[in-house]
Structure 1
Amino acid sequence: MFFQAIQTPGLAHVSYVLGDNGEALVVDPRRDLDVYLEVLHSQGLRLRYVLMTHRQEDFVLGVTALSLLTGARIVAGKHPITGYADLQMGERERLQLGRLFLLALHTPGHTPESFSWAIFLDSHPKHAWGVFSGDALLAGESGRTDLPDPERTYENAALLYDSLHREILPLGDQALVFPAHGAGSVCGGHIDDRALTTLGIERHRNPVFVLGRDDFIAHKLHERLPRPPYFSRMEELNLRGGSPLDRDPRTVPPLPPRTFRESSRNGLVIDTREPEAFAGGHLPGSLSIGMKALPTFGGWVAAPDTSVFLVMSEGVEPEQAVLALARIGIDRVEGVLAGGFGAWRNAGLPIERSATLTPSELQEHAERYQLLDVRGLSEFESGHIPGAHHAYVGQLEERLPELELRPEVPVAVTCDAGYRSGLATSLLLRHGFQNVSNLLGGMTAWKKLELPVEEGAPHPKETPAPREYPTGDEVYSE
């Protein structure tokens, strides 16, 4: 038997390769396929199946592409949404793989077509070795229940509770749990940062098993997680099993500074350096999204038809950023600044700056600043700087008018550590704010210094309507 989990950096997505007796299947692959082909080749495995747990909203699947490339059959649970699959399996039907078999278990609630797949060894057919749970069951949490329809969050939470208790819990404490996402994903609320878990651990710690049905439903209703705009595009692509990469990410051209300036005039410049480097000097109008945050926030600021141009840190391969965007359906990366910001600076081209603040500096001169907290709503409610305005960074541009911030008055922006506030700082600069400072260390450093904190919701004027501005716990784990 062979088993390997494959992590996708930045998205907290996990796919899997399972093999036995020369045969293999891949579960929920992403669209860049080289990693799966390399594993299969190195282990001498022939791919028989590409297995889906459910449609995915936060990345482009590589299900159809991998099937076409290898001749493997696409396998999914029996549901109209997965009608393109070669083999649709009904409740408790078996899929044989070498000396293993997988049992199809319908576990709706996160999405209606969600299926989990219990794994059994032929030698121990009564005791599950593990289960591919998709996003139905995560480490320390369960999948969000608002994605198919926010108006049906209550009903979906009840469905999820019932299906996990009926189908998954009886598999036994010994069963390993292999979810499709880990900590930092937007597919669940408070996902534990654990690489390995079992049903025994989850039975004692996971809200879906610890709470009663009514309390669990209330727990899901309170999540208020953000729904990035690119999710709709992912749904569209993944209803067909995803799409292959349009091109080799290594072919994006490096552009010398003056060519870069002309080419990017009608596009979007994303600076992937750290927030401190961006503050020290950057291209006018560029947006600050550090590499760690790019797979999440790239989809908030760029659409599929956006022409994107990248500024990279020294020593970081552009391919990493191009792939990070391609995995969320942003394929039109049309150039990388050759020589990085240093080349732009040395060419004597225009430079814009922002500012930074330490918590102590902000505390000492708080009266000078308008304060803006761009974390999720639950984070803000749990403790924020007194007097701070609130808008989740993903909705900042659309909510600017109602915040009534004055462009001529200095603004101090905070998040948890600095990445989200770095993006917010660059957005404010694009909207004509003249003096914007990123609070370095964010609320993490502020609280460690035991500076004043108040709890509770924003002032009513700044409170987003639940449907129009769904915000919540952090999208990117800083």
Structure 2
Amino acid sequence: MELRRIETPGIAHYAWLLADGEQAMLVDPSRHVQKYLDTARDIATRITHIVETHRQEDFVMGAAWLARRTGARIYNGNHDTFGHGDCRLEDGDTFYVGKLLVRAFHTPGHTPESMCYAVYKDDNAESAWAIFTGDTLFFGDTGRSDLPDEDKSVENAGRIYDAVHNKLAGLGDTALILPAHGPGSVCGSGMAKRSWSTLGDEKTYNDVFTLSRQEFAEKKGGERLPRPPYFRHMEKVNLEGGLPPTLRQGDVGLLNTDSFADKSQNNYIYDTRLPEAFAGGHIPDSHSIWLGGLPVFGGWVGNADSAIYLVTDRNDNVDHAVRHLSNIGLDNVQGALAGGFESWRDAGRDVEHSGAITPAVLHNMDNAPQVLDVREIDEFDSGHIPGALHCYVGYLADKLNELPLDKTRPVVVTCGVGHRAGLGVSILLKAGFQDVSNLLGGMKAWSALGLPVE
């Protein structure tokens, strides 16, 4: 028996390959399936079962494409929102992978169709060896409960609690917990930073075990998590088992400055450099989205139909950026600036600048600027710069007119460390604000200096 965790960078997604001899199951694949095929070959097995825990909303699934590549059968639950499945499983149904017995459990709450799969080493095993928990149970957390219906978040959190206690809690404390996501995923909020966990471990510290049903439902259901707009697109494409990749490595061409300037007009320019570099100089009307933030914030700015042009630190970052966007279904990347911003600068093209300021300088200013905090609301409420306004960066473009900000006065934008603030700065610049700065180090640096918060 062999188990491999295969991560998708940028979205904290885990797919799992479990092999027993010549048969293997692949749980929750993304659309870029070659890495799964390579891993299966490395351990001398073949993928015969493709298993879905639920219809993912934060990335394009690869079940249908992987099935075409391998001939494997797709296993999922008997619920309409799963879409296609060769083997539609009811609660308690079983199947085999080699000699391993796999039992399906319907565990609704995060989504109506959510399933978990307990793995037993053989028919006689009294306890599960591992449980593929999808987004039902994470390390230190559970999946968010607002996705089916925001108005029923507390009710759905109660369903998660019931599913965990009635279906999973008795499967054996030594069972490995194998979730679909880790820390940083938009599908949860309080995941523990650990590599592995067991059911017994989770019972000691996870809220779903340590709180009462009412306490858990109110806490989980009361979370205020942003819902990225690309989730709706993911729902549609994943209902059909996802999509094969559209762009392969090297498909997005490099454009010289003249071609880039001409073709990118009135389209989206994503500048993937760090915020400090963006502040020093950037192409006018571009969005600052750092490379690692593309698979989340790229989908807040553009959509599946948006023509996107890239500015990267180096030419060899282009394929990484394209892959990040591809994971959330943004496939209309039309080109990248050859040589990055340096080539634009050296060609004498128009350059726009923004500011950068340290916490100490901001704190000691006689004439305090306007401060805008673009973190999530729970982050803001946990402590922020006195007098700061708040708007989550994902909503900023749409809600900017509702904020009491003066375009003619300086604005300092802050977040956790400066990445999301960089996007906020670029949105304000596009809206005509004249003097916008990024607070370098964000609230992390502000707090490290012991500066006041409210």
**TM (normalized to structure 2)?**
0.98
Please show how residues 306-385 of structure 1 align to structure 2 within 5 Å: 306-314=306-314, 316-365=316-365, 367-385=367-385
The amino acid of 1:385's aligned partner reads I
1:186-239 per-position Cα deviation (integer Å, ceiling 9, x unaligned): 101211111211111100110001000000011112211110000000011111
Per-residue deviation at 1:366? 6.0
Question: Which residue matches 2:113?
Answer: 113
Please show how residues 38-437 of structure 1 align to structure 2 within 5 Å: 38-122=38-122, 125-314=125-314, 316-365=316-365, 367-437=367-437
Question: Which residue matches 1:13?
Answer: 13
1:138-179 per-position Cα deviation (integer Å, ceiling 9, x unaligned): 110001111011122122111111111011110121000000
* C-alpha contact 2:37 2:47 (8 A) present in aligned 1: no
Q: CA RMSD in A?
A: 1.0
Question: Which residue matches 1:465?
Answer: none
The amino acid of 1:268's aligned partner reads Y
Per-residue deviation at 1:286? 0.5
* C-alpha contact 1:266 1:307 (8 A) present in aligned 2: no
SS of 2:74's partner is strand
The amino acid of 1:143's aligned partner reads G
> Unmatched 5+ residue regions in structure 1?
455-478
Question: Which residue matches 2:442?
Answer: 442
1:369-428 per-position Cα deviation (integer Å, ceiling 9, x unaligned): 111000011111110000000000000111111112111100000000000000000000
Distance 2:124 2:327 in 1: 38
Question: Which residue matches 1:461?
Answer: none
Per-residue deviation at 1:247? 2.7
The amino acid of 2:129's aligned partner reads W
Distance 1:418 1:197 in 2: 32
Distance 1:302 1:34 in 2: 27
SS of 2:291's partner is coil
SS of 2:250's partner is helix
Distance 1:137 1:225 in 2: 17
* C-alpha contact 2:28 2:51 (8 A) present in aligned 1: yes
Distance 2:366 2:34 in 1: 51
Distance 1:392 1:25 in 2: 39
Distance 1:243 1:273 in 2: 29
Distance 1:311 1:30 in 2: 26
1:290-344 per-position Cα deviation (integer Å, ceiling 9, x unaligned): 1111111000001100000000112643110001001001000000100111111
The amino acid of 1:270's aligned partner reads Y
User: What is the percent sequence identity of the aligned residues?
Assistant: 48
Per-residue deviation at 1:276? 0.4
* C-alpha contact 1:22 1:45 (8 A) present in aligned 2: yes
Q: Which runs of 4+ in 1 moved over 4 A?
A: none
Q: How many residues align?
A: 454
The amino acid of 2:145's aligned partner reads T
**TM (normalized to structure 1)?**
0.94
1:437-473 per-position Cα deviation (integer Å, ceiling 9, x unaligned): 000000000011011111xxxxxxxxxxxxxxxxxxx
Per-residue deviation at 1:135? 0.2
Alignment CA distance shift 1:119-1:366 (3 Å): farther
Question: Which residue matches 1:36?
Answer: 36
* C-alpha contact 2:315 2:340 (8 A) present in aligned 1: no
Alignment CA distance shift 1:194-1:87 (3 Å): same
1:114-134 per-position Cα deviation (integer Å, ceiling 9, x unaligned): 010001101752111110000
Distance 2:427 2:310 in 1: 16
Please show how residues 433-472 of structure 1 align to structure 2 within 5 Å: 433-454=433-454
SS of 1:131's partner is strand
Per-residue deviation at 1:367? 2.8
SS of 2:269's partner is strand
* C-alpha contact 1:82 1:88 (8 A) present in aligned 2: no
* C-alpha contact 1:299 1:328 (8 A) present in aligned 2: yes
Per-residue deviation at 1:357? 0.3
Alignment CA distance shift 1:192-1:366 (3 Å): farther
Distance 1:218 1:90 in 2: 29
Distance 2:379 2:166 in 1: 33
Per-residue deviation at 1:2? 1.1
The amino acid of 2:88's aligned partner reads Q
* C-alpha contact 1:177 1:196 (8 A) present in aligned 2: yes
Distance 1:268 1:253 in 2: 16
Distance 1:343 1:124 in 2: 66
Greater CA drift, 51-60 or 92-101: 92-101
Alignment CA distance shift 1:281-1:12 (3 Å): same
SS of 1:170's partner is coil
* C-alpha contact 1:414 1:421 (8 A) present in aligned 2: yes
* C-alpha contact 1:410 1:436 (8 A) present in aligned 2: yes
